[in-house]
Structure 1
Amino acid sequence: MIGAGMGAMAAAARLAVAGHRVTVYERTDTYGGAVRRLERDGFAFDTGPGLLTLPAVYRDLFVKTGKEPLEDHVELVQVDPSARHVFADGTEVSVPNASRAGVVSALDEALGAGAGERWGDFLVRAREAWDRTRRPLLEEPLWPNWRVLADKEPYPGVPHKRLLRTRRASTLAEIGAWELRDERLAALLESSALAYGLDPRTAPASAAVLPYMEHAFGTWYVRGGIRELARAVYERCLKRRVEFVFDAEVMRILDQDGRATGVELRDGTVAEADHVVADVDPARLKVMTDRPLDQDGDVRADPFTTRPGRFAVLLALRGGRESGAAHRTVVHAPDPVSELDFLSSAEGDQPPWPTVTVLRPDDPALRPDDGHESMVLSAVVPSAVDWDDKGMVRRYTEYLLDAAGAAVPDLRDRVLWQEVRTPDDSDDETSAFLGAVPAPALAAGRGHYLHPANTTRLPGLYRVGGWSHPGGGLAHAGMSGALVAGLIVEGPEFRGSQ
């Protein structure tokens, strides 16, 4: 196993239970991939994902690898409201967690009569897209005839007459403009895609499943931080006798007679294996083997394509968290078009204000005492920007602090200290090319939003984690682990969970 990310560990635990001897080689000194924690002066911060959707993925992992509930190892807390949204015109709305009636009522009250009904009707259509794509995109290995997923749009858009033609939404932005018909509702919709660096102007309408997942299955927090979930999965692996070797960088995947036979480490050590599972960025995987890993015409983006990354400011604050503060606040960009243009091109010396997410967990484990608070501000940014440019880092830091100041009273006066993390930090920790963040797999869009299959042209070599099918996000990484374990244990005839 190459890499100790969440997908790799999910696969390792399942393979160990099936009787395989599993060794994980991790380039850094810890497990979890992007799911990490920074601790200082009694404060603690998640430096990767801060929330979890679809906890059933990890519940299934713990049942299948030990017949124990996940909740015996971590404390899951449903976040309510799911998020507070602060729009560019100053309007605010707190969206209840996993309650259609509650969401409809909240949107009507905040945005005007009819807004809630339009959103509720959208969720019904999004559910249909979810039902059509759930198995092939999440629970089954990528179909050999994946073009069926690429060519057909599963979102049942409302007919829209335009220039004497009747069309249905083919992008997320068109859903916002034609069906929601409110810039604030459109911003609410598009923020779920933007969080993964997807441009709603080009992302397929099938991306409607992203807000639907949060609505249908809830938004969850792990007490102590999401890093606790990584710890629990790591300890599950250890209990199943998975061996971890840290500070062990794999440089090359060995093959003989057309089959993967092991790995070679930086120090020259060779480890033989019947199967090799790689939880790494495609750019890094490409340099580990000189063999093509996909058939001509298969789903595969250029591994060196530039993708957006994540910029974060970790704040240690004096003063306790005010009563009733939302766990998550999204402060929407005042000029979303400029934000998206810069995100896609990274051109210009003066970046526009980004959409900013403020995470404020009410968790004693993350602060020294109740007279302090830890907070994480984050935004999706172009990973190709020169993050050694102190001026650029300073501008983004100010943007995030200003945006958060609109949601948190007297924020700047409360700051004891801050730490800034750029995509370069993610690159150092995960080896993802330029610190990019993988997005979940989506149907339609001519296949550009699918990910490479878990199998490769090199027998015995498998891909797992956010850069392979079914894509990025904690839940999707866990699903990739289940798929890879099934393919190794049952062989190519494996068709997914039943």
Structure 2
Amino acid sequence: MTKKVIVIGAGVAGLASAIRLQHAGYQVEIHEKDATPGGKMNRIEKDGYQFDLGPSIVMMPELYREIFELCGRDPNDYIPMEKLDPMYRVYFSDMPDTPIDISSDLTELTRMIESISPGDTEGFLNYMHDIYKGYVFAQDNILGRPFHKRSDFYNLSMLRKAPKVKLVGTADNFIGRYINSERLKQIMGFQTLYIGVSPFTGPSFYSMIPMIQFLYGIWFIKGGMYTMATAMERLFNELGGEIFYGSAVQEISIDAGRATGIKVGDRKIDADYVVCNADFPYAMKNLVKSPRAKGKFTDRKIDSMKYSCSAFLLYLGMNRKYADVEHIHNFIFNESLEKNMQDIFEGKKLEHASFYVYIASKLDPTLAPEGKDGLYILMPVSDLGTADYEWNDETIEYYRTYILDTLKRIRGFENVEQEIVAEAHFTPLDFESRFNAYNGAAFGLQPTLSQSIHKRPQSKWPSGSNLYFTGSSTHPGAGVPIVLLSAGIAVRELIQDDKGSPSTE
């Protein structure tokens, strides 16, 4: 008899897990508390303007395409993509009239580095050489596999390979071995924020993120990132899976150390296996009820863990096209990135901050009314457990004013405040309430050394059987490509455990 799997949450990793399992012959149900697929990969609609809610930059497109290819589909029929070059534009707040374009073409990239700091060109090429070796090591030995015990990481095979990889210290220190220019270091280092950690404290392992961009580029999906979510929903439905929206799971049912289904309202829904895509800290604290089932992940342990930064987002519908702004991805740096990062992770209200402006309607005009553009603006801020200030109307207005006043100094945005005709925002409180993101942390558990690889929550439930976890707080970590990998790990674990086990139906 076909075995049944319940997936909790239709986030990216939940959808990817469900597709893989349905394709493998299981009967899969997704239970999602929201009304739409995608989790944080969602959409905000306001007065004819459509904005990606969270993720906006496509890296490692082969991982996006893989889930469709696995099922014998042409990804181009589901997620049509185009490569961006230049990838993005960088502005520094002390020199707003001289932006820097970042290309994935190595010749153009080299010319850009030579124009900023000629003496750093050789160092940059050495960085690319050394970090590439780390990337290959990670691909082969870390990102696609689980770590059940300490010896899975600390073993003779790993020790033999590790000396070839010069990854010690923080991301900023690692980059600083090769690059002297503070501007270049910021352009490279800030990208650790894609996974919610500061380059000044995050492990050097994550300094491979800019290399992946420089070497392989970034992409845009027609319709924005939400297209990926709806395409995965479509594929899952085509395979015969079922999604139940507005179905908020209250508990994972556990009987004698074995997950047997879920509880939704006053109803128990049975299953042979459960895959949980709810944020791991939230799930362990709220969906796994008994202390014995929580194991080492007690409520106290969950509270004491370190969480990634959160984000404040503005979604602005504008009354015109921004022809003078050439790129869809724009980063505005404060000259003191280290102070900015320190304030975020120490919980201070930001006085000097960096932020990001995304104009998807420049590449896909259907995302805004004819002749108009929408601006998506993201500013990294403290998570709720760290912030020493409250999120209220005063805080929202404070950050809104800071962002708009900074933008006015950049060519093309001089009259930005007067050009707004539609507006919405999203705060850490919204991340917490809408997505059950613990402490409103937008990227889950912070990827510190003590919360990475074998020390990060794994896909297999450590205190029993038939329950698996996936998503940004589990190994291998946050970011859309990486949570797609986490789905692959969880599904392989489930199928391997299932071999030879009888159905409970």
Contact 1:318 1:415 in 2 (8 A): yes
Aligned pairs for 1:71-470 (under 5 A) are: 71-90=76-95, 92-97=99-104, 99-109=105-115, 111-142=116-147, 144=149, 145-148=151-154, 156-157=165-166, 170-265=169-264, 267-286=265-284, 287-289=286-288, 290-291=290-291, 302=302, 305=305, 306-322=307-323, 325-347=326-348, 350-361=349-360, 362=362, 363-369=364-370, 371-384=371-384, 385=387, 386-407=389-410, 408-410=412-414, 411-438=416-443, 445-448=449-452, 451-457=456-462, 458-470=464-476
In structure 2, stretches of 5+ residues that fail to align are 1-6, 500-505
- Measure the CA separation in 2 of the matches of 1:293 and 1:60: 34
Letter in 2 for 1:263: I
- Measure the CA separation in 1 of the matches of 2:446 and 2:145: 12
Q: Return 10-19 or 196-205, whichever deviates more.
A: 196-205
- Measure the CA separation in 2 of the matches of 1:354 and 1:293: 42
1:18-61 alpha-carbon deviations (Å, 9 max, x no partner)? 11011111112221110111112221101110121111112111
TM-score where L is the length of structure 2: 0.87
Q: Which has the higher helix share?
A: 2
- The 3 A distance-change label for structure 1 pair 426 and 55 is same
Contact 1:136 1:143 in 2 (8 A): no
- The 3 A distance-change label for structure 1 pair 56 and 143 is farther
- Measure the CA separation in 2 of the matches of 1:321 and 1:134: 40
Equivalent position of 2:28 in the other structure = 22
In the alignment of these two chains, the number of paired residues is 474
Question: Once the 2 structures are TM-superposed, how far is the Cα of residue 205 of structure 1 from its aligned partner?
Answer: 1.2
SS at match of 1:173: helix
Letter in 2 for 1:381: V
- Measure the CA separation in 2 of the matches of 1:116 and 1:93: 16
Structure 1: 4+ residue segments shifted above 6 A: 149-155, 439-442
Equivalent position of 1:160 in the other structure = none
- Measure the CA separation in 2 of the matches of 1:102 and 1:303: 46
Question: Once the 2 structures are TM-superposed, how far is the Cα of residue 225 of structure 1 from its aligned partner?
Answer: 1.0
Contact 1:45 1:314 in 2 (8 A): yes
Equivalent position of 1:52 in the other structure = 58
1:292-346 alpha-carbon deviations (Å, 9 max, x no partner)? 5687699x97356443111111111122121661111111123223212221121
SS at match of 2:251: strand
1:392-428 alpha-carbon deviations (Å, 9 max, x no partner)? 2111112222333344432223222322211111222
SS at match of 1:114: helix
SS at match of 2:63: helix
- Measure the CA separation in 1 of the matches of 2:140 and 2:435: 29
- Measure the CA separation in 1 of the matches of 2:366 and 2:119: 42
- The 3 A distance-change label for structure 1 pair 447 and 25 is closer
In structure 1, stretches of 5+ residues that fail to align are 158-167, 494-498
1:247-298 alpha-carbon deviations (Å, 9 max, x no partner)? 1111111122221111111x21101111010001123211212245687699
- The 3 A distance-change label for structure 1 pair 344 and 293 is farther
Equivalent position of 2:37 in the other structure = 31
RMSD across aligned positions (CA): 2.7
Letter in 2 for 1:461: L
- The 3 A distance-change label for structure 1 pair 64 and 138 is same
SS at match of 1:180: coil
- Measure the CA separation in 1 of the matches of 2:301 and 2:154: 18
Question: Once the 2 structures are TM-superposed, how far is the Cα of residue 441 of structure 1 from its aligned partner?
Answer: 8.8
- Measure the CA separation in 1 of the matches of 2:446 and 2:310: 17
Letter in 1 for 2:308: R
Question: Once the 2 structures are TM-superposed, how far is the Cα of residue 463 of structure 1 from its aligned partner?
Answer: 0.2
1:117-136 alpha-carbon deviations (Å, 9 max, x no partner)? 32232111111110111133
Q: Return 22-31 or 303-312, whichever deviates more.
A: 303-312
Contact 1:154 1:206 in 2 (8 A): no
Question: Once the 2 structures are TM-superposed, how far is the Cα of residue 492 of structure 1 from its aligned partner?
Answer: 8.3
Equivalent position of 2:70 in the other structure = 64
SS at match of 2:402: helix
Equivalent position of 1:165 in the other structure = none
Q: Return 402-411 or 451-460, whichever deviates more.
A: 402-411
Contact 2:20 2:67 in 1 (8 A): yes
- The 3 A distance-change label for structure 1 pair 292 and 104 is farther
- Measure the CA separation in 2 of the matches of 1:227 and 1:201: 32
- The 3 A distance-change label for structure 1 pair 293 and 123 is farther
- Measure the CA separation in 2 of the matches of 1:346 and 1:330: 22
Q: Return 304-313 or 78-87, whichever deviates more.
A: 304-313
* Partner of residue 19 from structure 2, selected from 13, 18, 30: 13
**% same residue:** 21
- The 3 A distance-change label for structure 1 pair 116 and 294 is farther
- The 3 A distance-change label for structure 1 pair 188 and 153 is farther
- The 3 A distance-change label for structure 1 pair 257 and 295 is closer
Question: Once the 2 structures are TM-superposed, how far is the Cα of residue 155 of structure 1 from its aligned partner?
Answer: 8.2
- Measure the CA separation in 2 of the matches of 1:105 and 1:49: 30
SS at match of 2:252: strand
- The 3 A distance-change label for structure 1 pair 292 and 325 is farther
Letter in 2 for 1:244: I
- The 3 A distance-change label for structure 1 pair 425 and 295 is closer
Letter in 2 for 1:21: Q
Aligned pairs for 1:481-492 (under 5 A) are: 481-491=487-497
